[in-house]
Amino acid sequence: MAVFESDFLKKLEYLALVARRVFRGRIKAERRSRAFGSSVEFADYREYTPGDDYRYLDWNVYARMDELLLKLFEEEQDLHVYLLLDASQSMLSTPGKYECALKVAASLAYIAMSNLDRVAVHPFADRPLPEFPLTRGKGKILTLLEYLERLQPASGDTNLEQCARVLIQRRPRRGLIVVISDLYDPHGFARGLDVLRYHGDDVQVVHLTDASEANPRFLGDVELLDSETQATRTVTVTERHLQAYRKAYQEFLARAERECRQREVGYLHSTTDVPFDELVLKVLRRSGVVQ
Amino acid sequence: MTLLNPLALAWAAIAIPIVALFVLRIRRRRQLVPTLMFWDEIFQDTRPRSLWRRLRHWLSLLLQLAFAALLVFALAEPIGLSAARKPVHYVLILDQSASMQATDGEPTRFDQARNMAHRTIRAMRDLDQATVIGAGIQPVVACGRTHHQPTLHTALDTLAAIDAPADLVAALDLARAIDTAEQDKRIQVFSDRGGAAELGDVLDASTSLRICGKDTGNLAITGFAIRPRADNPVELQGMIKLANYTAEETEAEVRLKLDDTLHDVIVVKLAAGEERLHGFQMMNRGSSILTAELAGADALPLDNHACAVLPRTLHKNVVLVSEGNLFLESVIASHPWMSLQTVSPARAEKAIAAADIVVYDGHVPDTLPAKPSMYLCPSGESKLWSIGADLTQPLVSDVVKDSSLLRHVSFQNVTFNLARAVKTKTPAQAVMSSFENPLLLRWAAASPPVVLLAVDINQSDLPWRTAFPILMQNALNDLAGQDVEQPSSYRTGQLAETQVDASQVQATDSRSQQVSASVDEQRATIGPVVWAGVTRVRAGQAEIPLAFNLANAEESNLRVADSAGSAMPANMNAGSTPGRFVLPWWVLLTIAAVGLSTVEWCLHQRRVVD
């Protein structure tokens, strides 16, 4: 069954419209950068040097003062949005979680594209997976959706730090990095966040989990199989163990939020039973993922 | 131990799939988890497990195999060695006595006994048989020897406690008379006491007495009767016997009712265990039934009620054919139910036609009247007797003491001054004789009845004696057909007799059930009657009521210990069912298997783990 059905596309359009109205004046693609460019906004003069474009010479100044001065304009740059999508096997361990992550990623990408921003998708597991390059324009959304549908989770555990380093090296410039993951990173997701924040990017974390992960219901003798590493543990699960698990899991969620807040990283935790459009609009706006 | 169905042991093969499934199941089910981070954190301190934990799987398998073994064993129908030797024939005797109606059982003692018998039948093996005997006033085989349990259960359900005592000894004799040469016979008596004292001598190793009920207090009427006074039939003398079988002093309130109309209330205070006879008097105003009811409820309602039939008042016209005898006239006129007319022999014919009873004072008619008649010192002979020489100072040598004519009087060794020497031509009863000479004769077989007194009352002191008016009243009552010997009440289980003027009678008890009745020489024998209350005897157009009460102290005493007493047999068993177990082996094994299955489930599913 396809992840993105026709209803999904309609919801994307609806999301884009609603997002434009909600974030009007704040999320325009035209974002002034410090670089000079070819917009209509005058910035400064500088002396002419051979090779400059004659069209930007200020002929009036030359007529009055006999000096060749070149007019400089502020360059308007679009926002680069990098979606770091967790495509490890843990995202597949519970039904619906990976699909939810794909939809969130597609929704954010569409909203960004609708606002003339550039979007790139960088899936990762224990290593970077083939990414969707920076793309601009709403017309590319179908290509993006096709890419996401074809994207298969990779084997191996989750290693956010390594993927963050690769992203930093490859990205043309800083931007907004949205990490969509369950954060089950045996190497520590905080180190990955440190790398991203160190290089000056705005980082947002969308922490996706499933309700069954917080509250497992199996008892007795079981062989626990790690969905990422395929490691096993033969244990006897009792109610007391389940209580300890629930406590440990809640501590993990609290730690994730605390780590993000300490690094000034936007954090949002959501479970897969929340509809993705509600997640994208209501919950993401509240958490400030889209600015 | 032996097996009735050894082929069922083939089911032991079920152990193979159990082991196979266990081997498969011991490979633990795999549970996919997103990450082991949290589980490692939890289990990092609990790696080394106890010996119990390692053995638990094997214990689970052992329990499953034990479960299967028990079921297979149950299917094979094991029986004990003693039971395997011979099929058992159970003879179940249910005490139907009145005390079994006591409501300290389930809800009554009889219900409790019946339930115990049901359990015994359910515990029978296939080859066992049973006979059900109801022990009432006579033992009755409710169900002959059979192994068909539904039939036995149905027979048990048809039995009920009666209002009479039971003859358990006869029931035991009947049970022993059943021939079970090829079987091991076991007699079980289900009784609240069953007259344990009387059973004590007859119980043996093959007989067990199973007690129902418990020690219960009871207040009872153990006797009730009423009769007319001998000297004044209009006045009645009553007797009620009350018994307090409780452990404390109790005030008994008895309500006397005449034909359902309250007549009197008697209050008697009885000490614990006391029995007291209480007398009372009342006038006979023509009522028919007197009932006594104990106020309040106790464990045995049956003995809180008693009834008695009041003497009938038969109004008769008596014609005295006499030249004049003041003593005789006064005696007859004193009878409350008799109307006297004195006529001379010359004018007697017309008066006799309208009379019910004729009394001849010295005179003998040519033809004896077709009415009940009495002859005092007859002067001549008739077809029934002849007259010889006078007897001077005859001494009364022989009397029929139980004759109704001599009720309340005794003439033994009395000497009269003069009497006629009478020779009977037809058989007559010599109620009083002076050696070979009868002094008082009664022709009961004659129709109508005739009474002859040979004593010359004019020449003797007999009229001066107190006995004379009583003798005359007895004679008149006898001739009037008034059965003064008729008891006012009977005990249930007794035979009752009453005088009837018919050759056939029908009797219906208080529950409208027909009662056995027969007639012999105008005496009807009724019963035995098992239900308390008024039994009505229909003889021709007449209906005669007969009252039956429990009136049995042994039945009313509901204290088991008292009734069992020291004669409690050694094999008296108050709780267990026959054999060594209540339920068949296969049921016990199945229950054990289910228990083991539950334990195994708890272990395997790890609901009960450290």
Q: How many Å lie between the alpha carbon of A154 and the closest alpha carbon of chain B?
A: 14
CB contact under 8 A, A226 and B609: no
Ordered alpha helix ranges (H), B298-449: 326-333, 348-353
Residue reference for tokens 């139980």: B402
CB contact under 8 A, A226 and B31: no
CB contact under 8 A, B606 and A223: no
Q: Which of B28, B31, B38 sits opposite A245 (nearest CB)?
A: B38
User: Best residue in B33, B40, B52 to probe A by mutation, most A CBs within 10 Å?
Assistant: B33
Least reliable range by pLDDT among A37-41, A222-226, B26-30, B72-76: A37-41
CB contact under 8 A, B609 and A236: yes
- Residue ranges for chain B with pLDDT beneath 70: 1, 24-27, 45-56, 79-85, 180-182, 193-202, 230-231, 445-446, 484, 560-586, 602-610
Determine contact: B606 vs chain A, CB below 8 A.
Answer: yes
CB contact under 8 A, B29 and A222: yes
Residue reference for tokens 């519970």: A94
Q: How many Å lie between the alpha carbon of B590 and the closest alpha carbon of chain A?
A: 28
Least reliable range by pLDDT among A7-11, A21-25, A212-216, A244-248: A21-25
Of all residues in chain A, the one with the smallest CA distance to B36 is: A226
The pair of structure tokens assigned to A227 is 């969905």
Determine contact: B24 vs chain A, CB below 8 A.
Answer: no
CA distance B609 to B262: 76
Determine contact: B32 vs chain A, CB below 8 A.
Answer: yes
CA distance B491 to A281: 100
pLDDT at A28 over 80: no
Alpha carbon B610 to its chain centroid, in Å, reads 66
Of all residues in chain B, the one with the smallest CA distance to A251 is: B38
CA dihedral B332, B334, B337, B343 (to 10 degrees): 40
B580-589 long-range contacts (CB < 8 A, ≥24 apart) are B580/B80, B581/B123, B582/B119, B582/B123, B583/B122, B583/B123, B584/B77, B584/B123, B584/B125, B585/B74, B585/B77, B585/B78, B585/B79, B585/B80, B586/B74, B586/B75, B586/B77, B586/B78, B587/B74, B589/B70, B589/B71, B589/B73, B589/B74, B589/B78
B59 vs A254, more confident: A254
Determine contact: B511 vs chain A, CB below 8 A.
Answer: no
Residue type, A272: T
Chain A contact set for B607 (CB, 8 A): 219
Write the pLDDT tens digit of every residue in A262-278: 988 888 888 988 887 77
Q: Of A114, A156, A160, A103, which Cα lies nearest the Cα of A137? A: A114
Strand pairing category for B450-453 and B373-376: parallel
Q: Which of B33, B604, B607 sits opposite A224 (nearest CB)?
A: B33
Chain A contact set for B37 (CB, 8 A): 184, 186, 252
Eight-class DSSP state of B415: B
Residue reference for tokens 């996706």: A208
CB contact under 8 A, A224 and B36: yes
Write the pLDDT tens digit of every residue in A169-189: 888 888 888 899 999 998 889
Bridge partners (DSSP) listed for residue B392? B418
| pLDDT of the residue at B85 | 59
Q: How many Å lie between the alpha carbon of B25 and the closest alpha carbon of chain A?
A: 10
Of all residues in chain B, the one with the smallest CA distance to A252 is: B38
What does each C-alpha distance from B189 to A246, A284, B186, B195, B554 come to in angstroms?
A: 67, 88, 10, 11, 18
Residue reference for tokens 């039973």: A273
The pair of structure tokens assigned to B504 is 């056939």
In A249-278, the residues whose Cβ lies within 8 Å of chain B are: 249, 252
Q: Which helix (H) or strand (E) holds B289?
A: strand B289-294
CB contact under 8 A, B605 and A94: no
Neighbour count for residue B171 (Cβ, 10 Å): 28
| pLDDT of the residue at A18 | 61
CB contact under 8 A, A218 and B28: no
The pair of structure tokens assigned to A131 is 């990414």
Determine contact: A211 vs chain B, CB below 8 A.
Answer: no
* Preceding omega of B107 cis (within 30 degrees of 0): yes
The pair of structure tokens assigned to B232 is 């004044």
Percent of chain A with pLDDT over 90: 20
* Mean local confidence (pLDDT), A85-98: 89
Determine contact: B566 vs chain A, CB below 8 A.
Answer: no
Percent of chain A with pLDDT over 70: 82
| pLDDT of the residue at A180 | 92
What residues contact residue B401 under an 8 Å CB cut-off, 6+ apart? B410
Q: Of A96, A79, A160, A94, which Cα lies nearest the Cα of A123? A: A160
CA distance B77 to B119: 19
Bridge partners (DSSP) listed for residue A71? A45
pTM score, whole prediction = 0.53
Chain B contact set for A220 (CB, 8 A): 604-606
Residue reference for tokens 């325009």: A28
CA distance A187 to B277: 106
- Residue B311, CA atoms < 13 Å, CB-side half-sphere: 27
Determine contact: A213 vs chain B, CB below 8 A.
Answer: yes
Sheet architecture: strand order including B261-270: B261-270, B250-258, B289-294, B305-309
Q: Which of B31, B37, B41 sits opposite A225 (nearest CB)?
A: B31
Question: Residues B12, B16, B17, CA angle at the centre, nearest 5°?
Answer: 115
The pair of structure tokens assigned to B36 is 């082991």
CB contact under 8 A, A227 and B609: no
CB contact under 8 A, A241 and B43: yes
Q: Which of A90, A228, A234 sits opposite B28 (nearest CB)?
A: A234
DSSP for B557-579, please give it. ---HHHHHGGG--TTEESSPPSS
CB contact under 8 A, A94 and B34: yes
Q: How many Å lie between the alpha carbon of B58 and the closest alpha carbon of chain A?
A: 14
| pLDDT of the residue at B570 | 43
CA distance B536 to B568: 41
B430-451 burial, b at 16+ Cβ within 10 Å, e below that, comes to: bbbbbeebbbbbbbeebebbbb
Query: Beta-strand (E) ranges in B500-586?
Result: 506-508, 514-515, 517-520, 523-526, 533-539, 542-549, 572-573
Q: Of A30, A45, A107, A121, which Cα lies nearest the Cα of A76? A: A30
Q: How many Å lie between the alpha carbon of B216 and the closest alpha carbon of chain A?
A: 55
User: Best residue in A224, A240, A245 to probe B by mutation, most B CBs within 10 Å?
Assistant: A224
CB contact under 8 A, B29 and A216: no
Chain A contact set for B36 (CB, 8 A): 224, 226, 229, 231, 233
| pLDDT of the residue at B446 | 64
Phi, psi of B2 (to 5 degrees): -140, 165
Determine contact: B51 vs chain A, CB below 8 A.
Answer: no
| pLDDT of the residue at B213 | 85
Provide Rg for chain B, Cα atoms: 39
CA distance B577 to B566: 24
Residue B286 burial by CB count (10 A; 0-12/13-18/19+): exposed, middle or buried? exposed
Determine contact: B609 vs chain A, CB below 8 A.
Answer: yes
Determine contact: B44 vs chain A, CB below 8 A.
Answer: no
Ramachandran region, residue B289 (left: φ > 0; alpha: ψ -120 to 50; beta: rest)? beta
Residue type, B189: V
CB contact under 8 A, A226 and B605: no
Determine contact: B36 vs chain A, CB below 8 A.
Answer: yes
Q: Count of CB contacts below 8 A, A vs B?
A: 79
CB contact under 8 A, A223 and B53: no
Chain A contact set for B41 (CB, 8 A): 248
Chain B contact set for A241 (CB, 8 A): 42-43
Residue reference for tokens 């499953």: B64
CB contact under 8 A, B33 and A249: no
User: Best residue in A160, A209, A226 to probe B by mutation, most B CBs within 10 Å?
Assistant: A226
Determine contact: A244 vs chain B, CB below 8 A.
Answer: yes
